Amino acid sequence: MCRTSLPADEGMLFVFADVTRVPFWMKNTLIPLSIAFIDDRWRIVQIRDMAVEPDPEHPTTLYTPPRPYRYALEVNQGFFAQHGLDTRAVVQFTPAESQ
């Protein structure tokens, strides 16, 4: 929230304890993003582009995928398309080793 930029190959991964249908919104988000909703088997359920709201403090658009998901990955808008990623992709997540 309140960011004016996001490095090209970075994003935010949201991890939920269980599968959910909770919608996302663009509250106080000042840059356009794309979101991948990912199920509990790490398969992409849906990718959506999310525009900056006319009034970021009071967003009106909700983004809810057609099926439940467990993870959501937000990146710069167009990232998934630029890398040829769609709902056929399988996500691989490898946490960094703690130091």
Q: Is the residue at 16 inside a domain?
A: yes
Q: Structural domain tally of the chain?
A: 1
- 89 within domain boundaries: no
* Domain membership flag for residue 72: no
Domain range spanning residue 2?
1-41
Q: Is residue 61 part of a domain?
A: no
Q: Is the dihedral of CA 68, 72, 76, 79 positive or negative?
A: negative
Residue 26: what pLDDT?
97
Q: Which pLDDT score is estimated for 67?
A: 97
pLDDT, residue 99, reads 57
Q: Give the predicted TM-score (pTM) of the model.
A: 0.91
CA 73-76-77 angle, to 5 degrees, is 100
The ranges of the chain with pLDDT < 50 are none
